[in-house]
Amino acid sequence: MTETTAPPAADAPPAGPVRRPRIAPGRWRDFSLVPVILLLGVVGFIVSPAFLSGDNLIGVVQQSTELGLLVLGEALVLISGRMDLSLESTIGLAPVVALWLVLPAHGGRFAGLGLLPSWTAVPLCLAVGAAIGAANGFLMLRLRVNGFIATLGMLTMLRGLHLGLSEGRSLADVPDSFAYLGRTSWLGVPAAVWICLALFALGGAALGYLRHGRALYAIGGNPEAARAAGIRTDRITWTVLVLAGVLAAFAGVLYTGHYGAVSASQGSGWIFQVFAAAVIGGISLKGGRGTLFGALTGVLTLQLVINVMTLGGVPPLWTQFLNGAIILLALVVSRFTSGEQQE
Amino acid sequence: MTAAPGGPAPEEPTREPAVAEPPAVRAEGIVKRYGPTLALDGVHLTVRPGEAHALVGRNGAGKSTLVSVLTGMARPDAGRVAFGGVPAPRWGDPAAWQRQVACVHQRSMTVPGLTVAENLFLNRFPGGPALRWRALRGRARDLLAGYGVDVDPAARLEELGVEQLQFVEIARALSRGARLIVLDEPTARLDAPGIARLFGRLRELRAQGVAFLFISHHLQEVRALCDTVTVLRDARRVLTAPVAGLGEDALVAAMTGEDAGHRRPARAPAPPAPPAPRTDGTPVLRAEGLALRGHFGPLDLAVGAGEVVGLAGAAAGGTTAVAEVLAGLRSPDAGRITVRGRPVRPGSVPHALDAGIGYVPEDRHREGLVPARSVAENLTLAVTGPLGPCGTVLPARTREFARRMIAALDIRTTGPDQPVSGLSGGNQQKVVVARALARDPAVLVAVRPTNGVDVRSKEALLGVVRQVADGGRGALIVSDEPADLRICDRVVAVFRGRVRAEFRRGWREADLVAAMEGVTAGTPGPPTAPDTSTTEGTAP
């Protein structure tokens, strides 16, 4: 099967002067946020010398991990031409369900079911994320419901389930196995950061070097062509949705471990930041375009902005306003630095 | 023959082509640059009222740019455009341009979700701010009837077929006062009767003084409709002449810049009948009792090794559906498909690919290409094995693989990394064909493989199909374009989902067209099929 059609090359096409492969101009788009990040670093240093301290930078990166994992999942979904809004509920609900099944019925402040041993909490949490992704896939791919509104409905429903199960309170009795990853440090850097970087690298490699990863771009760019080329579009899309759910649930594990509790509003309102980071990072909402490196720079940019604002002593009541305004500004800037329309 | 309502244009029903009359459009010395490339280099064009003027040229010759300039979409770097003797409107005033000229089919300017009536009067609704539906529909009906278009004004535009859509667009342009209509490949998506009706309507409109600029890759259509032809080549105008005195060879020579006499033998190797098809028992592709309700009835088909079989028939007549079933895009209601004697699971593209069916879809933009991705990625979309172990795709191997395909099919590109959307139509189509061949299929199923590509690419593409078969594999060409079917060893004509006739090499075009139209005797063909046996026949 190696020899493809090779008609006797009647006229060997010189195809112009032979050029060394160099980085195409389009590739620079992925790096368009790097100068912005450097600029933010300078601004941060001017605002407060504490910015460049190791503790602060590690704090920024640690806070980026949970959002980063959501963005990673969302980026995969967006590249394959779909949307999943329910990720922001998954990050809260998946830990709650896992803890509810694991925590004892009596003795703690929160009455769980105590059905399973506590070491199953993390696998359970991931399984819940997978189930949510599978349900989204069922709605979108089997029933052919509009993905935007279906996952928006899922977002609302899961948020309600979260509140119902947790009775509107924070869950603080987190088993050690569940809290470990979010709390521990490896080589002086939080484990969550290593894991997040590893997952981004893994995802980037899969998108670049795996057949099924490349297929995501084809599915997002032109689903009909992908189908005609023999790509199992539905199966792959479904897998991506499940993967996004699992990543969101894992983000929930890290977040819960980091703060030692699951708050009733965990993840609430994140989805805007998730989409903003993805779009700023060069991922097209129409599918078929973007890289995970770009998405990662988008996440870092957003987190740095928030950090600089905090260090600058912005009154807390104004942070939300400034946050929204800065995201809009970042969108406009990235629109022009990348030179592409974000449709 | 009511004139256009609201049109300020001349209304005399029949006018002699008076000498003093200003031309419908006159473009002089148009120069247009896109970055370093010169898209138009001092092009002149004059279209008289009531004239059908053909604009032909290979892909990339500058036709689209010229149309953009003439319709106010692009601003020329130099040169002048005048409509009816009056200088063209200011650049950037689309409404004023639309009163002069309209382009049908290129970047369709209609809203699919609205009704025909709304589209006709978009932003020009009669009456005040409140919409009076009855009046609107009434005016739309009058307007359409005036141009003899039989379309319900209350229908949504998306419900219409391509043909009706074009008529609506033409009617809309005329109602705005335009007296020059640019038709960009209007026949690309029509079947033969549709083309006949379109041409009939266009002739009527010409009698009313409407001028047409007609862009087509089909020289026979140019011949059937137009009286003057302008040829563009490499951004320059190389020829403007009456169609009547111009042979097809001369036209092709002008387009390609080569002497047609030398070129003809190199054409698809039709004349010396290839060594009799090496049919060694089992055909490479066999379909038995294949049926899909509403599209085609039980149908038997066999393609032998070394054979090119044509499946001739109108697009609406079920032939495209046959190809889609063979490719696994649709599940048949009945019947079985075997490749080299082994059955293929129906309704599954991956299984069809594994079995060895390569598929070239009908519409490369819709089903063929992922526009934003590179040539290499598009070429290797269906390839599984040789790019790397265990489902990995190594960029170096992908590029190498793509380079081989690019060389094999002579795809003109700056390299494997170029986005496929940057290629010309013919080269895009080559990418689609190359992808179908990338997995070394036993049989190639190609639907209208030369749709919307220029003359040279057409020959190259058909040559590739022929070579596939000559290499011991099989090929099935699904088309209603007689030129595509010339290279076939056998042509099966399908009408309304049933096989009507089968032709051996050396068929007469009129017979084939008649069979495709469901006519048994050799009646005069529609305009697509003027008697071209003199130019296309087996005679050298």
B245 and B299 together in one domain: no
- B407 part of a folded domain: no
B529 and B441 together in one domain: yes
3-state SS, residue A322: helix
Between the CA of residue A285 and those of A27, A158, A279, B275, B458, what are the distances in Å? 19, 24, 7, 54, 37
Give the percent of chain A with pLDDT over 90.
31
- Placement of tokens 């902005």 in the chain: A305
* Contact assignment for B381 to A19 by CB distance below 8 Å: no
A340 pLDDT higher than 80? no
Q: Are B37 and B77 in contact (CB under 8 A)?
A: no
Token couple for B520: 């048994």
Domain around A147: 65-268
Q: What is the mean pLDDT of residues B347-367?
A: 86
- A200 part of a folded domain: yes
Contacts of A4 in chain B (CB under 8 A): 401, 404-405, 408, 437-440
- B330 part of a folded domain: yes
Of A309, A323, A320, A276, the C-alpha closest to A43 is A309
Taking the C-alpha atoms of residue A277 and residue B303, their distance in angstroms, rounded to an integer, is 54
Of B250, B337, B277, B188, the C-alpha closest to B487 is B277
pLDDT digits (tens, 9 = 90+) for B520-533: 443 333 333 333 33
Taking the C-alpha atoms of residue A269 and residue A247, their distance in angstroms, rounded to an integer, is 18
- pLDDT the model gives residue A80: 92
Out of B353, B371, B437, the one facing A230 most closely (by C-beta) is B353
- Nearest CA of chain A to the CA of B436: how many Å? 8
Taking the C-alpha atoms of residue A218 and residue A226, their distance in angstroms, rounded to an integer, is 6
B234 and B306 together in one domain: no
Q: Could you tell me if B386 lies within 8 Å of chain A, comparing CB atoms?
A: yes
Q: What is the mean pLDDT of residues B321-348?
A: 88
Q: Which of residues 87-116 of B touch A (CB under 8 A)?
A: none
Q: What is the mean pLDDT of residues A88-94?
A: 92
The total number of residues shown for chain B amounts to 540
- pLDDT the model gives residue B94: 75
Residues 6+ apart with CB under 8 A from B445: B285, B323, B326, B327, B357, B358, B359, B360, B436, B475, B476, B478
- B505: domain CATH number is 3.40.50.300
Contacts of A213 in chain B (CB under 8 A): 393
Alpha-carbon A138 to chain mean position: 21
Q: What is the mean pLDDT of residues A252-279?
A: 88
Q: Which of residues 469-488 of B touch A (CB under 8 A)?
A: 471
pLDDT band at A236 (very low <50, low <70, confident <90, very high): very high
Q: What is the mean pLDDT of residues B66-77?
A: 86
B307 and B361 together in one domain: yes
A20 pLDDT higher than 70? no
B250 and B293 together in one domain: no
B120 pLDDT higher than 90? no
* Average per-residue pLDDT for chain A: 83
Token couple for A234: 């539905």
* Contact assignment for A229 to B391 by CB distance below 8 Å: no
Domain around B305: 285-365+431-536
Q: What is the mean pLDDT of residues B468-479?
A: 88
pLDDT band at B460 (very low <50, low <70, confident <90, very high): confident
- pLDDT the model gives residue B258: 60
Cβ of B442: how many Cβ atoms within 10 Å?
Answer: 19
Determine the residue among B373, B414, B431, B435 to mutate to test chain A binding: the one whose Cβ has the most chain A Cβ atoms within 10 Å.
Answer: B373
pLDDT digits (tens, 9 = 90+) for B159-212: 777 778 888 888 888 887 788 888 887 776 677 777 888 888 888 888 888 899
B26 and B95 together in one domain: yes
- pLDDT the model gives residue B35: 67
Q: What is the mean pLDDT of residues A35-61?
A: 86
- A107 part of a folded domain: yes
Q: State how many domains chain A has.
A: 1
Q: What is the mean pLDDT of residues A120-148?
A: 92
pLDDT band at B536 (very low <50, low <70, confident <90, very high): very low
- pLDDT the model gives residue B525: 37
pLDDT digits (tens, 9 = 90+) for B10-32: 434 444 444 567 888 899 899 98
- B154 part of a folded domain: no
- B35 part of a folded domain: yes
Q: State how many domains chain B has.
A: 2
* Contact assignment for B373 to A218 by CB distance below 8 Å: yes
Q: Are A95 and A253 in contact (CB under 8 A)?
A: yes
Q: Are B55 and B66 in contact (CB under 8 A)?
A: yes
- A76 part of a folded domain: yes
Out of A1, A19, A232, the one facing B439 most closely (by C-beta) is A1
A74 pLDDT higher than 90? yes
pTM for the predicted model, two decimal places: 0.71
Work out how many CB contacts closer than 8 A connect A with B.
129
* Contact assignment for B349 to A218 by CB distance below 8 Å: no
* Contact assignment for A288 to B391 by CB distance below 8 Å: no
- pLDDT the model gives residue B4: 41
Higher local confidence (pLDDT), B122 or B102: B102
- Nearest CA of chain B to the CA of A26: how many Å? 10
- pLDDT the model gives residue A129: 95
B50 pLDDT higher than 80? yes
- Nearest CA of chain A to the CA of B378: how many Å? 8
B37 pLDDT higher than 50? yes
pLDDT band at B306 (very low <50, low <70, confident <90, very high): confident
* Contact assignment for B392 to A1 by CB distance below 8 Å: no
Buried b (16+ CB within 10 A) or exposed e, B301-335: bbbbbbbbbbbbbbbbbbbbbbbbbbbbbbebeeb
Of B502, B487, B475, B477, the C-alpha closest to B306 is B475
Taking the C-alpha atoms of residue B139 and residue B133, their distance in angstroms, rounded to an integer, is 10
Alpha-carbon B469 to chain mean position: 25
Q: Which of A221-230, A295-304, B394-403 has the highest mean pLDDT?
A: A295-304
Q: What is the mean pLDDT of residues A138-164?
A: 92
Q: Could you tell me if B381 lies within 8 Å of chain A, comparing CB atoms?
A: yes
pLDDT digits (tens, 9 = 90+) for B211-228: 999 887 677 788 888 889
- pLDDT the model gives residue B524: 37
pLDDT band at A342 (very low <50, low <70, confident <90, very high): low
Which stretches of B245-370 are assigned E, i.e. beta strand? 285-292, 296-303, 308-312, 334-339, 342-343, 357-360
- B139 part of a folded domain: no
Give the percent of chain B with pLDDT over 90.
2
- pLDDT the model gives residue B196: 82
- pLDDT the model gives residue A343: 56
- Nearest CA of chain B to the CA of A13: how many Å? 6
B352 and B458 together in one domain: yes
* Contact assignment for B349 to A211 by CB distance below 8 Å: no
pLDDT digits (tens, 9 = 90+) for A269-315: 889 889 988 988 888 888 888 889 999 998 998 888 888 888 888 88
Higher local confidence (pLDDT), B113 or B228: B228
Q: What is the mean pLDDT of residues A316-321?
A: 82
pLDDT band at B98 (very low <50, low <70, confident <90, very high): confident
* Average per-residue pLDDT for chain B: 78
- Nearest CA of chain A to the CA of B225: how many Å? 35
Burial class (CB in 10 A: 0-12, 13-18, 19+), B370: buried
B347 and B455 together in one domain: yes
Q: Which of B155-159, B187-191, B397-401 has the highest mean pLDDT?
A: B397-401
Give the percent of chain B with pLDDT over 70.
82
- pLDDT the model gives residue A251: 93
* Contact assignment for A217 to B377 by CB distance below 8 Å: yes
Enumerate chain A positions whose Cβ falls within 8 A of a Cβ in B. 1-7, 9, 11-13, 15-16, 19, 21, 24, 26, 208-215, 217-218, 221-222, 224-232, 288-289
Least confident of A53-57, A255-259, B214-218, B326-330: B214-218
ipTM: 0.72
- pLDDT the model gives residue A244: 95
- pLDDT the model gives residue B282: 77
B92 and B229 together in one domain: yes
pLDDT digits (tens, 9 = 90+) for A23-46: 444 556 677 788 888 888 888 888
* Contact assignment for A211 to B393 by CB distance below 8 Å: yes
* Contact assignment for A226 to B385 by CB distance below 8 Å: no
Torsion, CA A308, CA A312, CA A313, CA A319, rounded to 10: -40
- A298 part of a folded domain: no
B245 and B325 together in one domain: no
Token couple for B22: 């200003």
B278 pLDDT higher than 70? no
- pLDDT the model gives residue B264: 40
Q: What is the mean pLDDT of residues B473-494?
A: 87
- Nearest CA of chain B to the CA of A246: how many Å? 23
Higher local confidence (pLDDT), B137 or A134: A134
Token couple for B230: 């302008």
Of B218, B224, B225, B214, the C-alpha closest to B255 is B218
* Contact assignment for A4 to B381 by CB distance below 8 Å: no
A195 pLDDT higher than 50? yes
* Contact assignment for B405 to A21 by CB distance below 8 Å: no
Burial class (CB in 10 A: 0-12, 13-18, 19+), B67: buried
Determine the residue among B326, B381, B399 to mutate to test chain A binding: the one whose Cβ has the most chain A Cβ atoms within 10 Å.
Answer: B381
B216 and B361 together in one domain: no
Q: What is the mean pLDDT of residues B272-286?
A: 61
Q: What is the mean pLDDT of residues B92-108?
A: 75
Taking the C-alpha atoms of residue A149 and residue A131, their distance in angstroms, rounded to an integer, is 19
B456 and B493 together in one domain: yes
Residues 6+ apart with CB under 8 A from B134: none
